[in-house]
């Protein structure tokens, strides 16, 4: 434009030179609005002139239109200035500068309000012909400096990624049409960069380095009210460090050459030096466990919290990862999408299932449900902080950049089965003092801790032999156990006793176990201990033994003394007369033996020297038996019964003379190891003897045997009469009966004595079978005499005869049939004569035989006589049968 003007001027000058030039002096059309104290320059051009190329200029002014003109300065006259201005000219405050031959500029370094007025630029004529205008006028308006720039002070430190607002109040008092612009600048040590300028025409221009950011929206202008302009820089980065400035400028628009913006005053203020704190510096990652000591049991839920702190937390996009050891478990991505790495775990089932959620600002909760022992270890939380740089990346998403990455310190998590804990006390509740007494041991579980819900207790009982028992080393045996489900598992050596109930293992309360031996044997002496196990439900639902504790041992032993039995017999009812009832009681006292059963033998003997008979027996199982010696007719009269725990009664009704003698109990104690087993003999004892002794106060009897002829011929009849006589209080014949038996001792063929015949007290006759061909009959002659007839005597009938009688009478005192003592007669010798006269019938033998027969006869007679004299007549044949001996063994 300048060049064009110049060419035009030259063209015009040449044209003028030639013919008709008319001078043009030009200043800016004005009015010029300037600010007091600011420099002012007013240009003045001259065209279309003739004469020298270099023109002179003179400047004048007047404060108002009516006032006189004051000369200000001239390009050729140093003394041109009016005295009121000469000082300012001399100081250079007012000066004129030549720009070109035809262009000058009036300069006022600091314009004063007084300087306001009309200004003239005048050129002295160098033209040959005065033509055109030689001066031009412009108005200068001087306004006070009302521009105010007051920025808001910036914070000294700003976290990376956050926004900073550059707020600046730029105002001026509007008296003339002036315009404002505001510029923000960033000054670093080396450079000063324009960020953005707003105004003066309402447009925005950006500095080269910030153009992109502005285009992306990372920098935005907030038009202010009351002169406040705000520039917001989003997501600051460390490169945004520096000193921020606010520049307010006041402009005027001049209508020269189609308009021109003139800066009339400006003011720049520092807003403050900002330091952008990098995210890494403020980012903190902490892990906290929900429990003070993360000690977990399998199946529990592990909960860990990752707390992320940062001064610019809201500006950050976080990627949170939980690591167990080096292993990524789970990640929450920037976008909030959670990616779990547990599902890809090869050892599935052993690890818990992880989940991650955001529970608050910067709070990320990790939950691992159903932890396994594999889940134990160090847990760390890793955080990657991203900042959106704004704008769009090529991929379409935000342009993220990772500002920082940080890991928390590790939290150690322990997953282990917390074993239940308890105290065991084993104590005897029943302690045997002797064999066959019960033993009871109670195994008490107390102070149970950590037994999980649904946990159970089981018990195992063990027996150990006493030290030194049997000389060998101590041996232990498993008695039996109750498992978590309460099943009884017997030990092999104890299974029979456990099955029979002789030994029992029970749980009496949830926490008490008992061992009970019904009848403790000597082999049971030893040390007992219980081992209590805790059972927990496994993940599969079945019970698994988790721990066990063994009690101290309890010794079961007692002084082994031989069991002793003492039996005392006592007369309860005395039989002082025949037919009365005798009763005795036997009281048993047992020592050194627990529970026992008894067998009883009632025994008797006539005198202390005579044989012992067993009357009746009672087995420990209460089976009653009669002894073989007992008359079956009399069994109803005999009673033996248990009358107390340790007492037995024996009763004998209708006592007879034959019952006299000594009576006692022979008692044996028996034990059973267990019910159902056979009895084992422990010990036995005999009681003292109780005597049945009464005097016959009834009649007294005597017996005699008689034969009219004791020497008979063969085939004749021999008679022997057994006569009884009664004396004393003789009963009536109806109240009297005898039982009579005849006995025979043969002359030849041994000394055996055999019963020949008998008649009982009811008159029933019984003849015994004999070898002889003779016949026998018994004849009751009267009440008191019984005749034995031997018909057809033979040689074999020769021998000794006697009779035995038992009288029975009706006792006047008791009214019962009473047996009197047995009576035995003397003996009678019967001789069946040799048949001499038969031999005489044989003529040949007659003479010789006669002398031999007589001789032989006298020899036999002599022998018989000798035998009769030497025989022990006191000899009584034994009639007693041996009683069956009932020994129980």
The reply to whether 227 sits near ligand NAG by the rule CB under 6 A is yes
**Phi then psi dihedrals of residue 880, to 5 deg:** -80, 130
Task: Please count the CA atoms within 13 angstroms of the CA of 645 that sit on its side-chain side.
Answer: 4
Question: Rule CB under 6 A: is residue 203 a binding residue for ligand NAG?
Answer: no
For ligand NAG, give the closer residue by CB, 266 or 606.
266
726-729: long-range pairs with CB below 8 Å, 24+: 726/699, 726/700, 726/701, 726/784, 726/807, 727/699, 727/700, 727/701, 727/702, 728/698, 728/699, 728/700, 729/698, 729/699, 729/812
Q: Tell me, residue by residue from 410 to 429, as one string, x for binding to ligand NAG by CB under 6 A and - for no binding.
A: -----------x--------
**CB of 180 vs ligand NAG, minimal distance in Å:** 11
- Interface pick for ligand NAG out of 38, 41, 55, 169 (rule CB under 6 A): 169
Distance of CA 394 to the CA centre of its chain: 60
Cα 650 to Cα 647: distance, rounded to the nearest angstrom? 10
In the complex, the smallest distance separating the C-beta of residue 34 from ligand NAG, rounded to whole angstroms, is: 16
Span of 71-79, 210-218, 431-439, 769-777 interacting with ligand NAG by CB under 6 A: 769-777
Residues from 48 through 67 that contact ligand NAG (CB under 6 A): none
Q: Reduced to 3 states, what is the DSSP secondary structure of residue 330? A: strand
The span from the CA of 394 to the CA of 373, in Å, is 47
Pick from 606, 557, 572, 495: which is nearest to 883 by CA? 606
Quick one: which H or E segment has residue 9?
helix 2-18
From the list 396-404, 768-776, 857-865, 866-874, the region that binds ligand NAG by CB under 6 A is 768-776
Binding mask 63-92 for ligand NAG (x = CB under 6 A): ------------------------------
Which 8-state DSSP code applies to residue 67?
S
Query: In this chain, which of 228, 402, 434, 828 binds ligand NAG, going by CB under 6 A?
Result: 228
Sign for the CA dihedral angle at 468, 474, 480, 481 comes to: positive
In the complex, least distance from residue 447 CB atom to ligand NAG, rounded to whole angstroms: 6
- Answer for which of 162, 249, 592, 753 binds ligand NAG (CB under 6 A) is 249
Pairing of strands 219-222, 157-159: unpaired
Using the minimum distance from each CB to ligand NAG, give the nearer residue, 115 or 797: 797
* 167 near ligand NAG, rule: CB under 6 A: no
The contact pattern for ligand NAG, residues 369-408, with x = CB under 6 A and - = no contact, is ----------------------------------------
String marking each residue 727-766 x if it binds ligand NAG according to CB under 6 A: ----------------------x----x------------
Of 285-293, 522-530, 597-605, 767-775, the segment contacting ligand NAG by CB under 6 A is: 767-775
Q: Closest CB to ligand NAG among 345 and 674? A: 345
Largest CA distance in the chain: 255
Report in angstroms how near the CB of residue 434 gets to ligand NAG at its nearest: 39
Q: Does 771 bind ligand NAG (CB under 6 A)?
A: yes
For ligand NAG, the closer of residues 46 and 776 by Cβ is: 776
Under 8 Å between Cβ of 60 and 70: yes
**Any contact of residue 341 with ligand NAG (CB under 6 A)?**
yes
Nearest-approach distance from CB 264 to ligand NAG, in angstroms:
11
Q: Applying CB under 6 A, which of residues 28, 183, 551, 687 lies at the interface with ligand NAG?
A: 183
Prior bond to 31 cis, omega within 30?
yes
- Torsion sign across C-alpha atoms 705, 708, 710, 715: negative
Q: How far is the CB of 789 from ligand NAG (least distance, A)?
A: 18
Q: Which run of H or E residues covers position 250? A: strand 242-254
CB of residue 292 to ligand NAG, shortest distance in Å: 17
Out of 190, 447, 841, 851, which residue is the one contacting ligand NAG (CB under 6 A)?
447
The 582-591 sheet, strands edge to edge: 564-573, 582-591, 647-652, 638-644
- State the nearest-atom distance from the C-beta of 194 to ligand NAG, in Å: 8
Residues 659-688 binding ligand NAG (CB under 6 A) are none
**Among all residues, whose Cβ is closest to ligand NAG?**
771
- Alpha-carbon gap, residue 789 to 732, rounded angstroms: 28
In this structure, the number of other CB atoms found within 10 A of the CB of residue 687 comes to 24
Q: Of 418 and 884, which has the nearer Cβ to ligand NAG?
A: 418
User: How near is the Cβ of 772 to ligand NAG at its closest, in Å?
Assistant: 8
> For ligand NAG, which residue of 226, 346, 487, 633 counts as binding (CB under 6 A)?
226
The answer to the question of residue 268 lying near ligand NAG (CB under 6 A) is yes
Would you say 163 or 328 has its CB closer to ligand NAG? Answer: 328
Residue in 222, 223, 214 with CA at minimum distance from that of residue 193? 214
| Residue 769 sits in the site that holds ligand NAG (CB under 6 A) | yes
Q: Which is nearer to ligand NAG, 65 or 344 (CB)?
A: 344
286 three-state secondary structure: strand
- CA–CA separation, 314 and 305 (whole Å): 19
End-to-end CA separation in angstroms for the chain: 157
* Part in contact with ligand NAG (CB under 6 A); list of ranges 220-228, 598-606, 755-763, 867-875: 220-228
Residue whose token pair is 């008695």: 479
Mode of pairing for the β-strands spanning 295-296 and 411-415: parallel
Cα separation, 108 vs 39, in Å, equals: 5
Computed on alpha carbons and rounded to an integer, the radius of gyration of the chain in Å comes to: 78
CB of 258 to ligand NAG, least distance (A): 21
Interface pick for ligand NAG out of 86, 126, 131, 171 (rule CB under 6 A): 171
Residue 823, CB-side half-sphere exposure with 13 Å CA sphere: 21
Toward ligand NAG, which CB reaches closer, 405 or 686?
405
Q: Which of 56, 230, 328, 440 binds ligand NAG (CB under 6 A)?
A: 328
Which residue, among 57, 46, 53, has the nearest Cα to 22 in the 3D structure?
A: 46
Cβ distance to ligand NAG smaller for residue 27 or 185:
185
Q: How many residues bind ligand NAG (CB under 6 A)?
A: 27
Member of 9, 197, 287, 592 binding ligand NAG (CB under 6 A)? 197
Give the CA count within 13 Å in the CB-facing half-sphere of 759: 21
CB 386, CB 401: distance < 8 Å: yes
Q: Residue 669 region, left (φ>0) first, then alpha (ψ -120 to 50), else beta? A: beta
The 10 Å Cβ neighbour count of residue 337 is 8
Q: Could you identify the residue written with the tokens 């396994």?
A: 372
- The interface region with ligand NAG, picked from 24-32, 222-230, 287-295, 426-434 by CB under 6 A, is 222-230
Least distance CB 552 / ligand NAG (angstroms): 15
Could you tell me if residue 10 is left (phi over 0), alpha (psi between -120 and 50 degrees) or otherwise beta? Answer: alpha
What are the phi and psi torsion angles at 658 (to 5°)?
-70, -15
Contact pick of 50, 148, 674, 814 for ligand NAG (by CB under 6 A): 148
- How far apart are CB 875 and ligand NAG at their closest, in Å? 19
Query: Closest distance between ligand NAG and the C-beta of residue 335, in Å?
Result: 15
Per CB under 6 A, the segment of 224-232, 346-354, 509-517, 630-638 that binds ligand NAG is 224-232
The DSSP-derived string for 809-831 is EE-TTT-SEEEPPPEE---EEEE
Beta carbon nearer to ligand NAG, 614 or 753: 753
Alpha carbon of residue 233 to chain centroid: 63
Nearer to ligand NAG, 376 or 698 (CB): 376
Binding residues for ligand NAG, rule: CB under 6 A, are 148, 150, 169, 171, 181, 183, 197, 226-228, 247, 249, 263, 266, 268, 327-328, 331, 339, 341, 421, 447, 749, 754, 769-771
């Amino acid at each position: 434009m300048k060049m064009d003007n110049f060419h035009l001027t030259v063209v015009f000058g040449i044209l003028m030179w030639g013919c008709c030039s008319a001078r043009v002096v030009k200043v800016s059309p004005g009015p010029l609005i300037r600010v007091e104290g600011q420099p002012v320059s007013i240009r003045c051009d001259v065209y279309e002139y003739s004469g020298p190329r270099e023109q002179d200029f003179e400047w004048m002014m007047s404060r108002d239109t009516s006032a006189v003109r004051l000369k200000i300065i001239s390009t050729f006259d140093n003394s041109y200035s009016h005295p009121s201005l000469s000082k300012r000219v001399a100081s250079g405050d007012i000066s004129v500068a030549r720009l070109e031959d035809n262009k000058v500029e009036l300069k006022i370094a600091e314009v004063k309000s007084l300087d306001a007025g009309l200004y003239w630029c005048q050129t002295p004529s160098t033209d040959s012909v005065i033509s055109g205008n030689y001066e031009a006028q412009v108005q200068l308006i001087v306004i006070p400096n009302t521009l105010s720039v007051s920025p808001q002070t910036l914070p000294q430190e700003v976290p990376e990624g956050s926004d900073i607002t550059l707020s600046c109040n730029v105002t001026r008092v509007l008296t003339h049409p002036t315009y404002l612009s505001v510029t923000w600048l960033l000054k670093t040590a080396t450079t000063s960069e324009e960020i953005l300028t707003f105004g003066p025409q309402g447009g925005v221009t950006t500095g080269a380095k910030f153009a992109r950011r502005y285009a992306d929206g990372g920098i935005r202008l907030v038009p202010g009210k009351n002169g406040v302009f705000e520039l917001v820089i989003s997501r600051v980065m460390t490169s945004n460090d520096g000193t921020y400035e606010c520049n307010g400028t006041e402009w005027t628009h001049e209508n020269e050459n189609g308009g021109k913006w003139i800066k009339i005053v400006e003011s720049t203020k520092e807003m403050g030096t900002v330091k952008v704190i990098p995210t890494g510096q403020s980012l903190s990652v902490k892990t906290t466990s929900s429990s003070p000591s993360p000690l977990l049991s399998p199946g529990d839920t592990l909960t860990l919290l990752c707390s992320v702190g940062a001064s610019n937390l809201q500006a950050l996009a976080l990627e949170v990862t939980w690591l167990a050891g080096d292993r990524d478990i789970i990640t929450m991505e920037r976008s909030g999408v959670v990616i779990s790495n547990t599902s890809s775990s090869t050892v599935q089932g052993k690890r818990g299932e992880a989940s991650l959620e955001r529970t608050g600002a910067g709070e990320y909760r990790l939950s691992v449900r159903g932890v396994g022992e594999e889940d134990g270890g160090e847990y760390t939380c890793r955080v990657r902080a991203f900042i959106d740089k704004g704008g769009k990346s090529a991929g379409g998403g935000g342009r993220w950049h990772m500002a920082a990455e940080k890991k928390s310190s590790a939290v150690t998590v322990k997953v282990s089965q917390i074993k239940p804990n308890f105290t065991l006390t084993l104590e005897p509740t029943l302690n045997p003092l002797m064999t066959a007494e019960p033993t009871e041991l109670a195994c008490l579980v107390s102070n149970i801790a950590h037994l999980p819900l649904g946990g159970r207790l089981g018990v195992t009982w063990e027996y150990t032999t006493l030290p030194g028992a049997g000389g060998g080393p101590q041996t232990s045996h498993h008695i039996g156990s109750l498992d978590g489900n309460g099943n009884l598992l017997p030990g092999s050596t104890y299974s029979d006793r456990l099955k029979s109930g002789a030994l029992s293992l029970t749980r009496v309360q949830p926490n008490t176990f008992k061992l009970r031996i019904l009848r403790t044997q000597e082999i049971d002496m030893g040390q007992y201990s219980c081992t209590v196990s805790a059972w927990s439900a496994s993940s599969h639902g079945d019970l698994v033994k988790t721990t066990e504790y063994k009690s101290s041992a309890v010794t079961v032993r007692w002084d082994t003394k031989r069991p002793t039995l003492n039996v005392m017999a006592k007369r309860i009812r005395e039989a002082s007369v025949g037919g009365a009832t005798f009763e005795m009681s036997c009281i048993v006292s047992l020592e050194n033996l627990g529970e026992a059963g008894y067998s009883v033998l009632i025994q008797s003997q006539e005198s202390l020297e005579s044989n012992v008979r067993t009357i009746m027996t009672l087995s420990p199982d209460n089976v009653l038996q009669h002894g073989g010696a007992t008359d079956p007719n009399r069994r109803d009269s005999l009673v033996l019964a248990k009358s107390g725990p340790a007492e037995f009664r024996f009763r004998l009704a209708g006592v007879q003379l034959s019952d006299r003698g000594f009576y006692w109990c022979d008692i044996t104690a028996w034990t059973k190891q267990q019910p159902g087993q056979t009895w084992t003999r422990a010990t036995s004892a005999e009681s003292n003897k109780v005597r049945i002794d009464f005097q016959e106060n009834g009649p007294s009897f005597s017996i005699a045997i008689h034969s009219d002829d004791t020497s008979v011929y063969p085939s004749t009849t021999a008679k022997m009469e057994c006569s009884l006589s009664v004396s004393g209080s003789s009963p009536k014949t109806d109240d009297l009966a005898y039982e009579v038996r005849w006995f025979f001792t043969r002359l030849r063929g041994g000394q055996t004595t055999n019963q020949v015949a008998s008649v009982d007290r009811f008159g029933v006759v019984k003849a015994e079978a004999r070898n002889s061909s003779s016949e026998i009959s018994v004849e009751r002659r009267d009440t008191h005499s019984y005749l034995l007839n031997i018909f057809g005597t033979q040689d074999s009938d020769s021998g000794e005869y006697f009779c035995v009688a038992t009288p029975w009478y009706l006792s006047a005192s008791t009214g019962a049939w009473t047996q009197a003592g047995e009576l035995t007669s003397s003996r009678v010798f019967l001789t069946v004569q040799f048949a001499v006269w038969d031999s005489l019938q044989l003529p040949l033998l007659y003479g010789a035989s006669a002398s031999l027969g007589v001789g032989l006869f006298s020899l036999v007679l002599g022998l018989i006589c000798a035998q009769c004299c030497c025989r022990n007549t006191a000899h009584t044949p034994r009639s007693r049968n041996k009683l069956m001996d009932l020994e129980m063994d």
